[in-house]
Amino acid sequence: MLYSVIGHYSLILGLCFGLILVYLSIKNFQNSKILNSKILSFTFLQFFFVVISFLCLVLSFILSDFSNETVFNNSHSTNPLLYKITGTWGNHEGSLLLWLFVLTLFILIFLIKTKNQPIRYKILTLIFQQIIIIGFFVFLIKTSNPFNYLYPIPKEGLGLNPILQDPALAIHPPILYLGYVGSSIIFSSALAATTLNMVSKKWASHVKKWVLISWFFLTIGILLGSIWAYYELGWGGFWFWDPVENVSLMPWLALTTLLHCILVLEKRLILTSWVIILSISTFTLSMCGTFLVRSGILNSVHTFANDPERGLFILIFLFSLIFISLFIFFFFHKTNNNNLSNLFWLSKETSIVINNWFMMYFLSVVLIGTIYPIFLDVLSAQKISVGPPFYHKLIIPFLIPFLLFMTIGPKLKWIKSNLDDKIYLITLLITSILLSLLIVKNFDSGFLINTILISSAFYLFFITLRDFFTKKYTNISQNIAHFGFSLLILSILFNNLFSTEIITNLKVGQTFESSKTKIIFESIDQKKEKNYKSIIGNFSIQNLQGKLENLSPELRIYNQPNIVTSEADIKTTFISDKFIVINLVPNQDYFNVRYQVKPFMLWIWLSVVLISVGGLMSFFRKEYEK
């Protein structure tokens, strides 16, 4: 109870500091020889109080303080300690504290670490960031207070949703937020730079570090979410084009595009307007996503508890930010003579422009697919669903030219280029095509498109691989990242083509036999844990070669809330995953068994790691690329 009080007042203090900071900053802006030292201290204090508030909530969870409404709604005394802690951010109010944490942390680091930039720029960035921070403080305190007091104090909590009781929950939200919320600093600094008309090569180098940090964490965050879904949700998929997944993908697409543009801006003073627009759009998409997920508009496995009042607040907040950015862009941005006509058609700048073109197309597909049902529902009261088939049909055909451009683009020089290595380019192209033909010829569905798609992916794969080994790359981080991307596409394609599945109903002791596999339902064990009981099925799977594998999927019956979850047993190797899941069939004495063989799953995860490593390497490089 004491912690709730401390936490609550820390929030109020944080808000006050925000207001003071805006005031001080405006004053400092007018006579800005040096940065007022109070500004730095107050920024630190604001961060400090957010941390205190956050810790208070964590402590309330650990101590199972059910007088706190958030703890009551999301915890139970029999929850394991880890999930008491991680339950802090597994709900709407707690995750907003995480938002504030990242927002205040990033501006603090920004102020400390930014050297060699004008004082006025730092102050203005602070002001814009504070607008966002104050908005969130008000949102938190007024509509989503994590420290609401319940009286009479309940004896027990409602428990944490079992799907969230997983180690991945510990890290997925914080890491995702470092990327997602971290794009706020790019937003604020872009607005500041536009106002002061200092969008230049120097600014690009400076902001590139922030773009890389945000991008890195967002990539890993999305990866963790997919891994979590794969292991935890029991259906063997890792991406479902669910609205909440899309909502994290959209800032990622904008951020990746921005990253490429910053590279151009660093070298040549063109595309300045576009860089500003992308910087603004990334965070706007994050805010838009927050709105969609927390307002109750969307149906999804991931949505938080719905509350239209909160939705209204975020909506107004979001559009205020949009209007402020529009205003600043149109009134302060001076477009100098930096149009495209200065580019030679066969150059690296052009290939990055083309990359932008495709990325914006992909972004529009995801955006339209996600919000179109909402629009249609409001305008004509018709409900439709937009699911994976839509996204696949619109994205996959465009991936082919995209992959080809990704292969050729990095080989071009700045300003003007003629292609070297023509022989290698052509031989590897032919190799790729032949290889894909060999692989795809056994399937009759989608033969043509699969062949071309796999060929393009292989092409990128071989070219980047060859460049790596012959050290013919100009930029190693980009080489690794693009190689990772080709590996990702190839892994996903092969996983799709070669996955097999057997669905059958089995009683204990029964066997299922097909021409290639034998599934023996050996026995059942029962187990009792702290907050759930479990039924474990023991299976032996035998393949053609006679090799035996033992898999034990689990059914967990949680006590509070009373939910049954299915925990898959997955055996992972570099070649494939063997995935098995059982489900109760009501009123019957047999179980429904689903067994899948999924090739290359591990490579899907590893390729994303590889892509992020590329970005990370870029962050740590000191010297310019050639």
22 vs 354, beta carbon nearer another protein: 354
Among 15, 343, 580, 608, binds another protein (CB under 8 A): 343
Name the CA dihedral angle for 168, 173, 178, 179, rounded to a multiple of 10 degrees: 90
Residue 51 CB partners (closer than 8 Å, separation 6+): 101
208 vs 294, beta carbon nearer another protein: 294
Here the tokens at position 250 are: 């959209």
- Residue 562 near another protein by CB under 8 A: no
Least distance from another protein to the Cβ atom of residue 466, Å: 7
Return the residues of window 579-598 that contact another protein according to CB under 8 A: 583, 585-587, 592
Exposure class string for 314-324: b at 16+ Cβ within 10 A, else e: bbebbeebeee
377 vs 549, beta carbon nearer another protein: 377
Q: Taking the alpha carbons of 347, 353, 359, 364 in that order, is the dihedral positive or negative?
A: negative
The CA distances from residue 113 to 299, 348, 451, in Å, are 41, 31, 49
Least distance from another protein to the Cβ atom of residue 344, Å: 8
Least distance from another protein to the Cβ atom of residue 324, Å: 12
Please give the Cα distance from 370 to 386 (Å, whole number): 7
Helix (H) or strand (E) holding 576: strand 576-584
Q: What is the CA radius of gyration of the chain?
A: 26
Residue 469 CB partners (closer than 8 Å, separation 6+): none
Please give the Cα distance from 454 to 432 (Å, whole number): 8
Contact stretch for another protein (CB under 8 A) within 81-89, 128-136, 364-372, 613-621: 364-372
Least distance from another protein to the Cβ atom of residue 378, Å: 5
Contact stretch for another protein (CB under 8 A) within 78-86, 376-384, 525-533, 608-616: 376-384
- Residue 370 near another protein by CB under 8 A: no
- Residue 561 near another protein by CB under 8 A: no
Please give the Cα distance from 12 to 120 (Å, whole number): 28
Return the residues of window 472-491 that contact another protein according to CB under 8 A: none
Report whether 408 contacts 371 (CB < 8 A): no
Least distance from another protein to the Cβ atom of residue 387, Å: 3
- Residue 447 near another protein by CB under 8 A: no
With CB under 8 A, what is the number of residues at the site for another protein?
Answer: 86
299 vs 336, beta carbon nearer another protein: 299
- Residue 387 near another protein by CB under 8 A: yes
Among 35, 354, 396, 613, binds another protein (CB under 8 A): 354
Please give the Cα distance from 391 to 365 (Å, whole number): 7
Helix (H) or strand (E) holding 502: strand 500-506
Please give the Cα distance from 140 to 98 (Å, whole number): 11
Least distance from another protein to the Cβ atom of residue 390, Å: 6
Please give the Cα distance from 336 to 195 (Å, whole number): 15
Least distance from another protein to the Cβ atom of residue 442, Å: 5
- Residue 549 near another protein by CB under 8 A: no
Please give the Cα distance from 14 to 264 (Å, whole number): 39
Among 20, 360, 400, 617, binds another protein (CB under 8 A): 360
Least distance from another protein to the Cβ atom of residue 193, Å: 19
Helix (H) or strand (E) holding 37: helix 37-62
- Residue 351 near another protein by CB under 8 A: no
Per-residue string for binding with another protein, 302-341, x by CB under 8 A? xx--x-x--xx--x---x--xx--x---x--------xxx
- Residue 493 near another protein by CB under 8 A: no
Return the residues of window 5-64 that contact another protein according to CB under 8 A: none
Report whether 192 contacts 252 (CB < 8 A): no
- Residue 469 near another protein by CB under 8 A: yes
Contact stretch for another protein (CB under 8 A) within 129-137, 139-147, 165-173, 499-507: 499-507
Here the tokens at position 561 are: 């809330």
Return the residues of window 414-433 that contact another protein according to CB under 8 A: 431
Among 442, 471, 547, 589, binds another protein (CB under 8 A): 442
Q: Taking the alpha carbons of 242, 247, 249, 253 in that order, is the dihedral positive or negative?
A: positive
Cβ neighbours around 413 below 10 Å, total: 14
Least distance from another protein to the Cβ atom of residue 537, Å: 15
Per-residue string for binding with another protein, 210-229, x by CB under 8 A? --------------------
Among 207, 259, 261, 365, binds another protein (CB under 8 A): 365
Residue of 550, 554, 533, 553 lying closest to 542 (CA atoms): 550
Q: Quick one: DSSP state of residue 301?
A: S
Least distance from another protein to the Cβ atom of residue 238, Å: 12
Please give the Cα distance from 532 to 267 (Å, whole number): 59
- Residue 523 near another protein by CB under 8 A: no
Return the residues of window 593-622 that contact another protein according to CB under 8 A: 599
End-to-end CA distance of the chain: 60
- Residue 143 near another protein by CB under 8 A: no
Residue of 112, 245, 234 lying closest to 185 (CA atoms): 112
Least distance from another protein to the Cβ atom of residue 297, Å: 5
- Residue 361 near another protein by CB under 8 A: yes
Least distance from another protein to the Cβ atom of residue 593, Å: 11
Cβ neighbours around 392 below 10 Å, total: 12
Return the residues of window 180-199 that contact another protein according to CB under 8 A: none
1 vs 575, beta carbon nearer another protein: 575
Least distance from another protein to the Cβ atom of residue 341, Å: 4
Per-residue string for binding with another protein, 229-268, x by CB under 8 A? ------x-x--x-xx-------------------------
Could you please report the per-residue DSSP string of 102-154? HHHHHHHHHHHH--SS-HHHHHHHHHHHHHHHHHHHHHHHHH--TT-B-SSPP
- Residue 400 near another protein by CB under 8 A: no
- Residue 355 near another protein by CB under 8 A: no
